[in-house]
Structure 1
């Protein structure tokens, strides 16, 4: 390979930053690092969707909520029923988080508690109660050292501590508004399947699993595809998940990998799978780990998968009619805002805001089932698309 040793490190200090901000303190944490810096990041241009942002879907919570409600529509579930499904998924996560000394919220909770709307567990964007979204206000850090077997041996690292990488894959998804199925994340499925194939294994061979869990839908997508139960006896998280262990936004999966290393070291011969998600299901990477050695001589245990070519056409032009495919309602102190994604009369993807001041429109959207509704759309003085039940 190109390198005999590499160090991967990341951290978040959002909790401290917010605490200092409330006090009006702005400490100087800047530093100057020598050497060259090569940015191999995904790039904001692949994440930003100006039209969605302009209509209030300007962060992870409403963007994931749009996908989550699309899945709910496919299942034919009402809001309360679906919230309980999220609770059933995440209740086992809270048990893991409660036993993890590094968790930001080490409290075990029931499915009903997670799904019940209270003052402390308010809706942040339909269908999400506050407790079921990634907890990004954390102080957390993790680091990983990757070395060749030769260097590890030369440095005297005991072979009993060696953990081998059996496969790594990475995939990039279409932008949310371009996806044929707004609920699906085929790139993530392709990444996991490719990693398993390159390791010569199946999901049943994985004794330890950590699926990225910023919200329910990235986990649900894996469960739906691989036929996994939300109460799979292996568990679907090693840390406790982003809503409960903590969502160190730039580095969560390093924590998952660190947990996977500890598991397979203590259970020799076992395998662990870690799935890492980024953006709004915009990219996915999968790693498989074990104390058993892996033969990398053929160079075929890593793959960067091709991006899908079946993007739905998206229109930024004004339109006067739309059929709703999915939606969310942002709940905020300054007021609620309903956001929809749908199709115009030409079949192109469009987005806008539903007019909650219109009684008929509010009744349909607040009722939780505007899927398939016909909207009459006009543009306001800010250029936003405002839809009302036709």
Structure 2
């Protein structure tokens, strides 16, 4: 099939992982990790790496945890992460961008790169990401801390971290300061809708994730290449301690990693000009980017309609149905985002095609905002090996707040636009639930989590007031209520809630 010369193609992908038990472990910086991945992507083009690096005119950089909020970078950072990497590989792009927080960003940026190429605004684009959480932990208590500070001159389009698009003063005051507790609310809300017991739902989560660990065990880029059984994942032990209900450690994304990934997207004309063989070209057949309602507005906290819409739309744009997909990589920070797409597409947890190519975030590694760039790299490699087949990548961001989906194939295809703007308008128009921020009176528990990661075991509650059905948040250190939350099944339990200057407090009624 002949395609237009402005058609985008992925010509190179690269990954890098540094494990703390590696004999040559040195605690690399985010810039160094991304540099290693970018060099691997250049080599992967099977063209002149120096020439390709020099031709890169646009770079999209993914944000690391250390620059994803107002907290300081303890070991120092570059003031221009993308240009720090490009200087190391011999590139001097006209434009570099630093993307906001969000795990959907890698797939969203592949689509954005494609649109800029089609519009003639770019020819050769690199997308890069890295996370140095292992380095930060390794040097935390050491006196020989490195200084990764770099000051690089040059243009930078910093889109801001935008972390407060996911959280605000109200949710932070009520304990939603980390992903495990945030997603714990969502998984427990889904359990409420299904009517499952605590034990049954934990078993289903373990059955969903155990096959992923088998993939991770064989992936040379995995941070924890260890196969785990269903029983090992669901059983709480000293090693597999509870983090936030309903998650023991082996159901939680592993963010203490040193990983980097990169992808190079060009026009067909640029790929030919650079001498990249056509066997390396992979096309984005379908794509979609949809934004969910704010967390507490959602009618059903156990559902994610925007994610489902994005998955269906990417397949529609590609012109295929789910049965034609050969590989999947579904964002798996916790079970909830995987369940959502399985529910939407009719996938069984034990689908013989598998639900990941990397091994999943708890086992392969969860390098912050850049995980799905690894998923894209794995998908591109698989599509090259199986021409004519399709690979699906689902990338989730925030508190199931944004979802970007992509369908890849080595089969040539024209660039197609999605209906993402229309779908986003549909999400905005969905029903919402009123929220009472200062709550006083009686109510029931709609969903919950328990923070076992705090010095005092604390219950986090989303409830409904009996008076008007409005939604509220509350926390509790009350031993009786926390015991019910952590050791029984509190869904629908009656509580009394009282507002204070520091947030709402709940007691068992």
TM-score normalised by length of structure 1: 0.94
Kindly tell me the number of residue pairs found equivalent between the two proteins.
385
Partner residue in 1 for 2:460: 339
**CA–CA separation in structure 2 for the residues paired with 1:3 and 1:366:** 53
Is 1:123 the equivalent of 2:242? yes
For the residues of structure 1 that align with 2:150 and 2:504, how far apart are their CA atoms?
Answer: 44
Q: Where has structure 1 moved over 3 Å in runs of 4 or more?
A: 39-42, 301-305
Alignment RMSD (CA, Å): 1.7
- Contact 1:166 1:301 (8 Å CA) reproduced: no
Greater helix content: 2
Counterpart CA distance in 1 for 2:285 and 2:389 is 12
Matches within 5 A, 1:87-236: 87-236=206-355
Equivalent of 1:311 in 432, 457, 462: 432
Q: Is the 8 A contact 1:88 1:230 kept in 2?
A: yes
User: Is contact 2:167-2:176 (8 Å) kept?
Assistant: no
User: Quick check: 1:327 aligned with 2:448?
Assistant: yes
Contact 1:52 1:352 in 2 (8 A): no
3-state SS of 1:263 partner: helix
* Structure 2 unmatched runs, 5+: 1-118
The worse-fitting range, judged by mean Cα deviation, of 217-226 and 23-32 is: 23-32
Q: Gaps (5+ residues) in structure 1?
A: none
Aligned match for 1:75, one of 190, 194, 216: 194
The whole-number CA distance in structure 2 between the counterparts of 1:364 and 1:301 is 46
Q: Give the direction of change, closer, same or farther, for the CA distance of 1:48–1:199 in structure 2 (3 Å limit).
A: same
Q: Residues 241-275 of structure 1: CA distance to partner in whole angstroms, max 9, x if unpaired?
A: 00000000020000000000010000111100101
Partner of 2:492: 372
> Which position in structure 2 is the counterpart of 1:350?
472
Instruction: Map 1:253-272 onto structure 2 (within 5 A).
Output: 253-272=372-391
Q: SS state of the match for residue 21, structure 1?
A: coil
Distance 1:365 1:377, change over 3 A: same
CA distance in 1, matches of 2:190, 2:506: 22
Matched, 1:300 2:420: no
SS in 2 for 1:97: helix
Displacement of 1:32:
2.6
- Partner Cα distance (2:454, 2:186) in 1: 23
Are residues 1:84 and 2:203 paired? yes
Q: Which moved more, 1:325-334 or 1:31-40?
A: 31-40
Query: How much has 1:363 moved relative to structure 2?
Result: 4.8
TM-score normalised by length of structure 2:
0.73
Q: Which residue of 1 aligns with 2:33?
A: none
Moved more, 49-58 or 214-223: 49-58
Does the 8 Å CA contact 1:8/1:145 hold for their aligned counterparts?
A: yes
| Equivalent residue for 1:28, pick from 147, 153, 158 | 147
Q: Give the one of 54, 59, 62 matched to 2:178.
A: 59
* 3-state SS, counterpart of residue 372 of structure 1: coil
